[in-house]
Amino acid sequence: MAVAAQETDQGKEQPQARSVRVVILALMIAMLLAMLDNMIVGTAMPTIVGELGGLEHLSWVVTAYTLATAASTPIWGKLGDLFGRKGTFLTAIVIFLIGSVLSGMAQDMGQLIGFRAIQGLGAGGLMVGVMAIIGDLVPPRERGRYQGMMAAVMAVAMIGGPLVGGTITDHLGWRWSFYINLPLGAVALAMVTAVLHLPKVERTKPRIDYLGAALLTVGITSIVLVTTWGGTEYAWDSAVIMELIAIGVASLTGFFFVETKAAEPVVPLHIFRNRNFSLMAVIGFFTGFVMFGAVLFLPLYQQSVQGASATNSGLLLLPMLMSMLVVSMIAGRVTTNTGRYRLFPIIGGALMMTGLFLLSQMDTGTSRLTSGLYMAVLGAGMGFLMQITMLVAQNSVEQKDMGVASSAATLFRTLGSSFGVAIMGALFTAQVQDEMTARGGSEITAGSAQLDAASLAKLPDQVREAYEFAVSSGTHAAFLLGAAVAVIGFVAAFFVKEVPLRGAAPGQGTEPEPSPDDKSPDDKTGKVAETV
């Protein structure tokens, strides 16, 4: 598929580099919506909880968003394949903006959680739409040419997001952390509409896998509810948790069976027969698990323990974000120049595991310089993994499976973030409440916890010190858990196979022949699947 293609004398369509850059810029602005939202809300969270109350529901503000994103991601990917990527992508932007407006108007925590779910539905289409379209436009080996544009947008989101979020929260109020999406969304809608011109593709009558989509949604929802409610809202051995586990297992089992029979499966299972693709799914899951947990709990620690304002807590995240950005750019450039990438997931896994362990050692006396250095180590690890996982995943399948491969890889990263926030959030909250109860300050964590630094400054010294200790203890537990699960991603990286990256877009030349070990088991015609 080519965008803004011009026919040569031989009748071949070749996308012009300048046109591709303009299209990618438009796509990156759209993706910036979802990236900014997570960064902004992370720094605004303590103030939101302080006004609306409900520390026990803190994780759900993020979990509702990520859960809706996870459930909708594979559906958006398939809808794009069936009905066309552009219309589907624009619809996702509109839904995201509607959710943003409603979230800014929320009057209590329940409403905010519900409206965040609407935002998440749109975000699922944003993420997979961008990844699938880029996968169609630019072959993996040449993607480094456009890494500068993508890195610049990432810089705005990762560095500007916390700063903008903190500034808006301090000066305009947390509601504007959602309203800020509207002008950016309007620009994204206008640019995508104007510059994204995908050639029409002949399509057969769409056959939507409604049953598979429903089973996947129920399964994901049930499992995430178990991780969120288990040990907090309900005991692990309670009837509610047991029922949710049973529903989740039954739904996902039914989903796998349905996908083997469906004419147009939401997630074609044959893509997981490629070893590298499956490994990238595993690594992406644990990268998401760690990344979103860090973005949520580091500002809480900085504001509650280190006394930072919402604005300063955003700035204090810069060591992690800058490290992640710089390393991601370097890894992308080296991959483009050499075609080699296997070492990056291994190094990234090691640094991510080390950074999380270092962060788990923070206490009430940890300086901002020390915590900044720890964050830089974590950021470097994530930088080695962020671009590489999607790059390898997309190159591990045939071109006809680009959409579903992008949605599946995005789904696993989103699922990881959902599980990470839910599990780390449950552990953090339980630890804080236990410590406060033990130290006689349990009234702070009941109902409407005032987590912002200004409110904490008004508390008696003894109570404030108890709360600071409790938050540092909760942070220790959350990041120690993150370090433990990061080991799995680190081990998985050793099994990644180094195979040449494809260097030509569809219709623009030949592609490297994969090794015999990477031939698709489903290929009955002798054609070799394109793998990494």
Instruction: Kindly tell me if the per-residue pLDDT of 206 is higher than 60.
Output: yes
SS3 content of the chain, % helix, strand, coil (to 5): 75, 0, 25
User: Would you state the pLDDT for residue 515?
Assistant: 39
Q: Please report where in the chains the tokens 């009905």 appear, as a residue.
A: 83
Q: Note whether 95 and 33 are within 8 A (CB).
A: no
Q: Note whether 174 and 46 are within 8 A (CB).
A: no
pLDDT band at 443 (very low <50, low <70, confident <90, very high): low
Q: Is 8 exposed, middle or buried (0-12, 13-18, 19+ CB in 10 A)?
A: exposed
Using DSSP's 3-state secondary structure scheme, residue 15 falls into strand
Q: What is the pLDDT of residues 129-142, one digit of tens each?
A: 887 787 777 777 67
Between 29 and 122, where is the model more confident? 122
| CA-to-CA dists, residue 7 to 23, 356, 500, 507, angstroms | 18, 52, 29, 12
Using DSSP's 3-state secondary structure scheme, residue 14 falls into strand
| 473: amino acid identity, one letter | S
pLDDT band at 146 (very low <50, low <70, confident <90, very high): low
This prediction has a pTM of 0.74
Buried b / exposed e over 88-102, threshold 16 CB at 10 Å, is bbbbbbebbbbbbbb
Between 431 and 439, where is the model more confident? 431
Least trusted range by pLDDT, from 50-64, 177-191, 349-363: 50-64
User: Would you state the pLDDT for residue 143?
Assistant: 66
User: Would you state the pLDDT for residue 6?
Assistant: 38
Write phi, then psi, for 14 (nearest 5 degrees): -130, 120
Instruction: Kindly tell me if the per-residue pLDDT of 381 is higher than 80.
Output: yes
The DSSP annotation for 143-166 comes to GGGGHHHHHHHHHIIIIIHHHHHH
Q: Note whether 447 and 53 are within 8 A (CB).
A: yes
Distance CA 181, CA 73 (A): 20
The DSSP annotation for 332-377 comes to HHHHHHH---THHHHHHHHHHHHHHHHHHT--TT--HHHHHHHHHH
Average pLDDT over the chain reads: 75
| 124: amino acid identity, one letter | G
Of the candidates 206, 169, 148, 230, the one whose C-alpha atom is nearest the C-alpha of residue 39 is: 169
User: Would you state the pLDDT for residue 127?
Assistant: 79
Instruction: Kindly tell me if the per-residue pLDDT of 446 is higher than 50.
Output: no
Of the candidates 143, 154, 128, 195, the one whose C-alpha atom is nearest the C-alpha of residue 28 is: 154
Distance CA 191, CA 7 (A): 24
Least trusted range by pLDDT, from 353-362, 422-431, 512-521: 512-521
| 344: amino acid identity, one letter | F
Between 399 and 389, where is the model more confident? 389
User: Would you state the pLDDT for residue 96?
Assistant: 92
What's domain 17-199+273-499's superfamily in CATH?
MFS general substrate transporter like domains (1.20.1250.20)
Q: What is the pLDDT of residues 71-89, one digit of tens each?
A: 888 888 878 777 777 888 8
pLDDT band at 526 (very low <50, low <70, confident <90, very high): very low
Q: What is the pLDDT of residues 453-505, one digit of tens each?
A: 556 656 666 676 777 788 888 888 889 998 998 999 899 999 988 877 766 44
Q: What is the mean pLDDT of residues 114-141?
A: 81
